[in-house]
Every structure is written in structure tokens, then in C-alpha cells.
Structure 1
Amino acid sequence: MTKVSMNHLGSEAISKLLIKQAVPASIGILVMSLNILVDSIFVGNWIGSIAIAAINVVLPVSFFIGALGMSVGIGGSSIISRALGANNHEKALKTFGNQLALTLAITIAMAVLGLVYVDSIIPAFGGKGRIFEPAKIYYTIVLYGVPFLALCMMGNTVIRAEGKPKFAMIAMIIPSVGNLIMDYIFIYIFDWGMAGAAWATTIGYVLCFGYILYFFISKNSELKINLSHLRFDLSILKEISSLGFVTMARQATTSIVYLLMNNILFGLGGEAMVAVYAIIGRMLMFALFPVFGVTQGFLPIAGYNYGAEKYQRVRESINTAIKYAAIIATIVFIGLMIFPEEIASLFLSSKEGISANELAINTYVLEHTPFAMRLVFAATPIIALQLIGAAYFQAIGKAIPALLLTLTRQGFFFIPLILILPLYFNEIGVWMAFPIADVLATIVTGYYLRKEIKNDLILKS
């Protein structure tokens, strides 16, 4: 029987434990977010603003396939955390084996389909006009590396479920650093343009996969599976799917949002407006990295203690995570309200000799992005409750409420709002949808989280 040393999750002080779990997660997400941010800055300065828009079109497609791996990873990791908390090591091993086999089967099939239907997928996600050709170049190359991305996302959540946040952090840093180095070589030195940006991203995925593979075959991992663990177990697959579907549904909804936003904004302002959204999208990924880090650090703590029936510690972990995340979100909010112009200018080329068309797009983007950014992030201080509340239900294995709360913001509120508000307020209506959806989703999540704590945790304590 494999011995898994995770007792500290059930005994160490929650505040200290959350910091220990969240800081590496935050650093990993920071580096990954910086990678996306700096990558976009490189592309914008060395290739052009149309190239940023092209990458924005491709991201939801490649990320959706990669997120299938994350879905399997998070669904299985919830099982692993609770199984280890209940001292059921064999179930943890079977779950990991099923995660690996399932991720390979699904993502390879999706990547093949994505390549077959490339000419239909790119226009559907807003890759129209001058955006289409650079988007197709980037998409085709990146899709070869997406199965590696999926395996990395799956493996990273399992490493975190083992209680090894520092290794998970390193796994997130490797592809980011690799990508940025390759960006400089392929785009700036070799002048490969969009193909260079795509190969840099793909190589980053492969490097990350190599590190995660090393982790699991070395002494660092305590989940040592054999071939029998790769055999599909229907009961485990059902549990992985029900919990992982929450993450998959969230990413699918995110991809739909990108599809709608790119098309709506293209209709309102052409390629330049899509470029505005591309910059804001990068900031949505980057600026909130510490809040997402707290959420990631919270998951194994809540899952382990719930499995160990230490309900008072679960309640404490919820309160502490919300407090820390809210403080961080408020600091982020203040920074974004003060410096939106400076942030927008980072993405635009300042070199001499750019074309008149490129100059016109840059001017448009610089004029429109600051106001849009302030509206998009207007409700940032309250999102901690929304994120931690939805994550809690996923951590304890309650798939249906986790799914519904995860879909509340984008699926139930944001998508209807971006379809309705632009009809009356044009471009401003699109940006107004963000804070309105945040407020409504936070109210709903807060209500159900409070009800769950009262009916489940308090009664069991």
C-alpha cells in the first residue's frame, strides 16, 4: 500500500496552511499569466495589433481542449483529496490512472477534429477579415501541442492534490519561461512572425509535460500507478466526469463568451475593437492571478478536511480564503482604476515606420481600452465570494451545485447581458455586462454558500 503523507492538511493552522498552498499556486499562475501578458506585448510590438486579435481568436479553442485535461484533473483530484483524507489509498491510485487514460483519449480526438475543421472554426470565433490568415497559422501549429497542455493541466492538479504545491508551481513556471525565451528567438531574431509565436507556445507545453512526467516517475510523487490502474473503472469515471464537468462547462462557456464577444465587437468596431478586448482579456487572466491562487490553494484543504470529517476546519478554510482573496482583489481593483492608460500602451508598437492602418488601429485601441477596462473590473472587490463559494462545492464533491454556481456568472447572467445591452448602449453595453454579471453572481453564490454552511457543516460539527 502506498503511503501518502498529507496529514498536515488536516492538522496545520488553516491560515498558515492556506498561505503555504496559495503562494506557490499564485506564483505559478502569476508566471503563466505573465507569459500570456508578455507574449501579447511581444506579439503586439514585433508583429502588430492584428496579431494580438488573431491570438485572441485562437485561445478559446486551444484552451477548451486543454481545459478538458484540467476538467479531468480537477474532477479526479477532488476524489484523490477526499480518498487520501479517508485513508483510501487504492482509490486514489485508480483515480489517477483513469485520469491519465481519459485525458489522452479525449484530447487527442479533439485535436484531430480541430485540425480537420480549422477553416470553419476560426471564422466562427471571430477570425474574419485580416484576422483570419494569422489566426490560422497560429491555430494550426498550437493545436499540435494542445494534448501536451491537457496532460500538464491534469497532472498539475494531481500534484496539488498530493500536497506538493511547490512542484505544481514549477510545472506552471517552466512553459511560461520557455515560451518567452522561444518568443524572443523565433519572433525577434528569426523573424518567423505568427509561426514563431505558435512554435514558442507549443514548445512551452512540451517542456512542461516533460517536467510533470519526471515528477510522477521520480521519488517526488507518492502516487505510483501500474497498468492495472489505467483500466477504466466506470464508478470512478462517473465521479470524475460529474465533478470535472463543472470545469469543462466553465471553459465551454468561456469559449462561447469569446465567440460572442469577438463577433459582437467585430460588428461594432472591426479588428480594432477585437484588439481592445484582447488586451482586456489578457488583464482578466493576469490581474486576478493571486485571487485564483487562493482558490487553487483552498481546494485541497477543503477537500481533505471534508473527507476527514473535520467540519470546523472546513468552515475556517472558507472564511479565511474569502478574506484573503477579497483583500487581494481590492488591491488589484485600485491598481487597474489608476493605471489603465499605461497598461493599454504596453501592448502597442511604438516603433517608427509602422503603416498608416496599423497606426490608426493603435490610436483607436489606446483611446477605447482605458474606459472599457475600468468598467470591466468595476466589481472586482466582491468576486472572492463568488470564486471561493463555487470552488467549495467542487472540493467536497457536490457536482450539481458546483456546476450551477460556476455557470451563474457567465452562462446565466453575462451571455444574456452581452446579447441585450449592446442593442441599447452599443459598445458601452458590452463592457457594462461584466460588473453587472459579477454582482448578480456574487449575490446568488453567497446565498447558497451560507445555506450550505448552515445545513451541512454547522449541523455536522
Structure 2
Amino acid sequence: MAKVTADELGKEPIGKLLIKQAVPASIGILVMSLNVLVDSIFVGNWIGSIAIAAINVVLPVSFFIAALGMAIGIGGSSIISRALGANNHEKALKTFGNQITLTLLVTVTMVALGLFYVDNLIPAFGGKGSIFEPAKIYYTIILYGVPFLALCMMGNTVIRAEGKPKFAMIAMIIPSVGNLLMDYVFIYIFDWGMEGAAWATTVGYLLCFGYILYFFLSKNSELKISLPHFGLDPAILREISSLGFVTLARQAVTSITYLLMNNILFSLGGEAMVAVYAIIGRMLMFALFPVFGVTQGFLPIAGYNYGASYFDRVKESIYTAIKYAALVATLVFVVLMLFPGELASLFLSNRPGLSAEELATNQFVLEHTPFAMRLVFAATPIIALQLIGAAYFQAVGKAIPALLLTLTRQGFFFIPLILLLPEFFEETGVWISFPIADALATVVTGIYLAKEIKKDLS
């Protein structure tokens, strides 16, 4: 693997640089997304559709705690990218040390609270009826590995900020491959059921943490921190927090969305309707991987060049990233519109000996998922502008507009819509909330981004 230095972010042509950054990021996200997808297929086929719903209930809690690590990672990485662009190497080192200390303190505390309130959290997120017991089993085991996942997510963004996307890609692939292999061993061979699914995921987190630790201890990393760098610096903490809060707020709103969706859909159609949303949720993670890859590739390029005051390159990176992301989003849209039923059927078991309840649940899911999927992804071709626009403000250290634009889709539009529209249109009201929120958020982001480019980058 060729050694890549951070200063290439300010020298190479933007199109070539974005591909170099975005392709490894997309591959890493693809493998992670495939992991979630295939993991759900394994769970659905080997345990049952209720097990998919149970995992869907647990995800917002565990992902929120893990998102603390991602928030600290992205907030700190924005500082690191700009510091490297301005040749302030000491600030980059101090920031990285503070990221590690802060991630450990926050996530361990949150895990302790999450385990203490387990019986309250699961029902609140829709783990009711027959979903509760398998959700509790999965949740309890998963939470032990979440601090390692948080450190992995934090470390991955720092690796990318150093301009080393291939290493970041490998770090994303390792837990996915490990999880799938352990799924086969723990669920299929050992027949451990939900415990097997949870331990497989946790082992994947541990493998990822081992690789990231190796990266930063090896000669591949330019960030060689020492003990004094771990001491918390109030000024750096404030900057990490203000920028990282954008990511954390987004994940908090996502967790609230899961809570509302699971409860609303449970009231409309019981466990089977929650299973429909679980499949839709997996496709949202999987299908948009190339768009998220372009966004991840864009962040260090925009941050570095902004820190170096190369404003023409910043503008070019914005336009190029939107163009690339819109193209791949359109391709995703076409596939999802053509094959929703085939995709839904992958998650359902056809093994002999299914109970009447399982057969009825599978039939319900097959009947309702294609219609829902087409509505949910109806505005996919236009989301590139919203994602890149919000990411730009985070990359250049403008926390308030980054926060507001990040919350625009889910917080300002989507949550009010799913509270209002099901009252009039029931199930359809839930699904049409997705494209309406996408369209409104894209318009708002486009207007704000255009003003910012004219004012700040001219």
C-alpha cells in the first residue's frame, strides 16, 4: 500500500483526489452495509423475522452510544485536517489525544447507564410483545462491545483526516467480515440464536479495535502522541464538542426517529409492521453507501483546503462531490424502484417447519414492504445536495449552520410529518413522510449553501 501524506489533499486535482478518497470510503461503507444487510438476512432466515424486529429496536440505543465516538471523531478530525493544512502539527497531536480520553470517559459512562435502565429502554423503543425478550438478550451483550465500536469510529475518522483512506477502508471491512463469519459459527453451527447474533457483532467490534490500535502504533500514522497529549484541554474540548455535537445531534434525532417509528408502526400493524420497517432501515443503510462514501471522502478535502485558504479548491470540491453523489444516488434509485419485492424476500425464511405465526408475519412483510420501499426512496436522486451541503459546514468548522442543516431533514421536517400524516393516511402517511422531508431539506440546504459559497469562498 503506497504511503499517502496529508499535504496531497492540497495539491492533487480535485476530481482525482475525491475518487481516491471516496472509493475506499465507499468500499468500506459498502462492506459495513453488506454486513448489516447479510447479518439481517442470516438472522431472519436462521432465527426468524421477529428477531430482525428485535435488533431494529436495539440499534438506536447502541448506535447512539457508538455515535458519541463518531461525533468526537468527526469533530476532532475537522480540527486535525485544518491543523495539518496550516502546518500546526502539535495541535493535531493534542486534539487526537483529547479525542481518545473523551471517547473512553463518555462511552463507558453511557454503557453503564444503558445497562442499568435496560428494562425501561427496550419497551420505550418499541420492544413490546414478543419482541421484548430477544431484544433484551441482544442489547445486553452488544452494549459490552459498544465502547470498542466508539473508539473504532473515532479512530477511523482520524485515519481519514491524515489522508489515508485505504487504511480507513480496511478498518471498516474487518468488523464486517468478522461479524459474518461469527454469525455462521455462533448462529448456524452452535445454534446460539440471539446470543450468537450479539456475540458475533461484538467480536467484530473487537477485531476492528485491534486493527486501528495497530495502525496508530505503527509507522503508517503521522500522529505519534505521548502521555501529555491525553490531558484534556478546555479549548480543544470546546471545539471538538461544538463540531462533534452536529454528528451527535443527528444520531440522537435518528434514535428518536426509531423510537417514534417503532411505536407508531407497532400501533398500526404490530410486530410484523415493525419487521417491515426493520427491512427498510437495512436498505437505507445499504443502498446509500456510495453517497455516504462520497460525503466521507469530501470531508478531509474540504477541511484541509479551507485550512490552507485554497478557496477555489474548496468550491471545486463541493461541486464535484455533489455531482458524483447525485449520479450514484440516481443509480440506487433505479434499482430500488425496479426490484423492491425481490429485495424484501431476501430477509425472510422459507425453511420447512415454520409456525403459523411466522408464516403469517412473512406474508404480511412481503405484501407491505415493496410499496413502502418505493415511497421511502422516492426522493433519493436529490439527497446528494443535502448531505454534501451539511457536511461542508462541518468540514470547515462552522458548527451552528452544520448543526441546523444536519437536523433539517429528520428533526425539523421528518419527525413532525410522521406524527401528523399517519393520523390521516395511516401506514401510507408514515412512508410518504420520507420523500417529503428529503425534498424540503434539500431545498433549504441548497439555498443556504449557495449563499455561503458566494459570501465566504469568493
> What is the distance in 2 between the residues matched to 1:253 and 1:6?
33
Which residues in structure 2 correspond to 1:102-117 (within 5 Å)?
A: 102-117=102-117
- Please report how far the alpha carbon of residue 126 of structure 1 lies from its aligned counterpart in structure 2 after TM superposition: 0.2
Equivalent residues of 2:5, 2:164 under 8 A apart: no
> What is the distance in 2 between the residues matched to 1:173 and 1:10?
28
Q: Which amino acid aligns with 1:210?
A: G
1:143 aligns to 2:143 (yes or no): yes
For each residue in 1:199-251, what CA deviation from the matched residue of structure 2 results, as whole angstroms up to 9, or x when unmatched? 00000000000000000001111100001000000000000000000000000
Tell me what 1:308 maps to: 308
Tell me what 2:217 maps to: 217
TM-score normalised by length of structure 1: 0.98
Tell me what 2:291 maps to: 291
> What is the distance in 2 between the residues matched to 1:120 and 1:33?
29
Tell me what 2:385 maps to: 385
The total of aligned residue pairs comes to: 455
SS in 2 for 1:348: coil
- Show structure 2 runs of 5+ residues with no match: none
Where does structure 1 differ by over 3 angstroms across 4 or more consecutive aligned residues?
none
> What is the distance in 2 between the residues matched to 1:176 and 1:11?
33
For each residue in 1:125-183, what CA deviation from the matched residue of structure 2 results, as whole angstroms up to 9, or x when unmatched? 00000000000000000000000000000000000000000000000000000000000
SS in 2 for 1:225: coil
> What is the distance in 1 between the residues matched to 2:81 and 2:188?
44
Tell me what 1:36 maps to: 36
Tell me what 2:13 maps to: 13
Q: Which amino acid aligns with 1:390?
A: A
TM-score normalised by length of structure 2: 0.99
- Please report how far the alpha carbon of residue 352 of structure 1 lies from its aligned counterpart in structure 2 after TM superposition: 1.2
Tell me what 2:90 maps to: 90
Equivalent residues of 2:86, 2:307 under 8 A apart: yes
Q: Which amino acid aligns with 2:387?
A: L
Tell me what 1:153 maps to: 153
> What is the distance in 1 between the residues matched to 2:326 and 2:451?
21
> What is the distance in 2 between the residues matched to 1:431 and 1:170?
35
SS in 1 for 2:421: helix
For each residue in 1:78-114, what CA deviation from the matched residue of structure 2 results, as whole angstroms up to 9, or x when unmatched? 0000000000000000000000000000000000100
> What is the distance in 2 between the residues matched to 1:65 and 1:5?
32
> What is the distance in 1 between the residues matched to 2:357 and 2:447?
50
For each residue in 1:326-357, what CA deviation from the matched residue of structure 2 results, as whole angstroms up to 9, or x when unmatched? 00000000000000000000000011110000
> What is the distance in 1 between the residues matched to 2:451 and 2:335?
34
Equivalent residues of 2:18, 2:298 under 8 A apart: yes
Tell me what 2:416 maps to: 416
Tell me what 1:426 maps to: 426
For each residue in 1:408-441, what CA deviation from the matched residue of structure 2 results, as whole angstroms up to 9, or x when unmatched? 0000000000000000000000000000000000
SS in 2 for 1:378: coil
> What is the distance in 1 between the residues matched to 2:22 and 2:260?
33
For each residue in 1:28-78, what CA deviation from the matched residue of structure 2 results, as whole angstroms up to 9, or x when unmatched? 000000000000000000000000000000001000000000000000000
For each residue in 1:280-303, what CA deviation from the matched residue of structure 2 results, as whole angstroms up to 9, or x when unmatched? 000000000000000000000000
Tell me what 2:401 maps to: 401
Q: Which amino acid aligns with 2:165?
A: P
Tell me what 2:361 maps to: 361
SS in 1 for 2:45: helix
1:128 aligns to 2:128 (yes or no): yes
> What is the distance in 1 between the residues matched to 2:193 and 2:220?
39
> What is the distance in 2 between the residues matched to 1:183 and 1:96?
34
Tell me what 2:68 maps to: 68
Which residues in structure 2 correspond to 1:236-255 (within 5 Å)?
A: 236-255=236-255
> What is the distance in 2 between the residues matched to 1:367 and 1:352?
21
Equivalent residues of 2:178, 2:200 under 8 A apart: yes
- Show structure 1 runs of 5+ residues with no match: none
Tell me what 1:435 maps to: 435
Q: Which amino acid aligns with 1:386?
A: Q
Q: Which amino acid aligns with 1:392?
A: Y
Equivalent residues of 2:83, 2:307 under 8 A apart: yes
> What is the distance in 1 between the residues matched to 2:9 and 2:245?
26
> What is the distance in 2 between the residues matched to 1:435 and 1:342?
22
> What is the distance in 2 between the residues matched to 1:5 and 1:168?
14
SS in 2 for 1:149: helix
1:119 aligns to 2:119 (yes or no): yes
1:318 aligns to 2:304 (yes or no): no
> What is the distance in 2 between the residues matched to 1:209 and 1:113?
23
Which residues in structure 2 correspond to 1:171-320 (within 5 Å)?
A: 171-320=171-320
- Please report how far the alpha carbon of residue 7 of structure 1 lies from its aligned counterpart in structure 2 after TM superposition: 1.5
Tell me what 1:348 maps to: 348
> What is the distance in 2 between the residues matched to 1:7 and 1:422?
51
Equivalent residues of 2:66, 2:147 under 8 A apart: yes
> What is the distance in 2 between the residues matched to 1:59 and 1:293?
21
Q: Which amino acid aligns with 1:196?
A: G
- Please report how far the alpha carbon of residue 5 of structure 1 lies from its aligned counterpart in structure 2 after TM superposition: 3.2
Q: Which amino acid aligns with 1:363?
A: Q
> What is the distance in 2 between the residues matched to 1:335 and 1:5?
37
SS in 1 for 2:12: coil
Q: Which amino acid aligns with 2:426?
A: N
Tell me what 1:55 maps to: 55
> What is the distance in 1 between the residues matched to 2:352 and 2:218?
52
Tell me what 1:335 maps to: 335
